[in-house]
Amino acid sequence: MTSTASSSSSTSLPRGRLADKVVLVTGAGSVGPGWGNGRAIAVRFAEEGARVYGVDRDPERLTETAQMVAEAGNTFVPGSCDVTSSSSIAQMVAQCMAEFGRIDVLINNVGGSAKGGPVEMSEEIWDAQIDLNLKSVFLTCKHVLPHMLAQGSGAIVNISSTSGMRWTGAAQIAYAATKAGVIQFSRVLAVQYAKQGIRVNTVVPGQLHTPMVEVRLAGQRAGGDVEALLKQRQARIPLPFMGDGRDTANAALYLACEESRFVTGTEIVVDGGMSVRCD
């Protein structure tokens, strides 16, 4: 007679760490070719069996993401969303529910920086940074949490930044304040919803080499000289290389899957050791 263990092993193959889970990813596109955080998360999660509903303010940025998820052999449904708009988010969530019937994982990935301190920065830019980096997280959670509560389970992973923990080389006062806010928002939410089976954690990326660095930050910080900016950023990193969106994605994957079932209200810092330097 075949034992239960051997019978099970012969008929059940691993199906991925997120098999059949529905994952909603904001900012799943990218401003250019390469591994942005959102694109890498969508692709990596699909590789682990997730069905991904990915949105971006500019749907054209999702084209390459959709192609890469298709190559990974899983489902990707693209959508458009302005995450600073409650009505747009409500529509996004409704479309995801209509497509898949549930939301198991929410990834809040949208964000962007603006240079300057309180003297140089206009009030309009400050308000826009609050809306983009922090209010967006509040609004997506506001609309997704009722569905997770109805399911009795869920995982939320918010993407912050080491700028929310320490000085990272430039005055970006609104970005730093909002990304610090994301960390504390996640901690409070984690405790509030722990008894309902919903976990909330944060990935804190450091200075990665993503398409946004080349398209946006180089103009802000190095007069358009990408190589000069990359050298500046690498000089702050103890490891001898700079990570990219795939490193963020792998950390988010752990926090989204059952391997982290006893992990909530905490952060994973992905920065090559930069934030623990004392110089």
Phi/psi at 36 (nearest 5 deg)? -70, 160
CA dist 217 and 101 (Å) reads 39
CA dist 63 and 123 (Å) reads 35
The CA R_g of the chain, rounded to the nearest whole Å, is 19
Which secondary structure element, helix H or strand E, spans residue 157, and what is its range? strand 154-159
Q: Please say whether the beta carbons of 54 and 78 come within 8 A.
A: yes
Distinct helix (H) and strand (E) counts, the chain: 11, 7
In terms of DSSP bridges, do strands 105-108 and 22-26 run parallel, antiparallel, or are they unpaired? parallel
Nearest to 64 by CA among 90, 95, 109, 30: 30
Q: Among this protein's residues, is 53 annotated catalytic?
A: no
In angstroms, the Cα distances linking 155 to 72, 95, 148, 159, 257 are: 23, 19, 8, 13, 8
Residue in 53, 175, 193, 254 annotated catalytic? 175
In angstroms, the Cα distances linking 135 to 8, 22, 26, 89 are: 47, 23, 13, 12
CB atoms within 10 A of CB 132: 22
Residues annotated as catalytic are 175
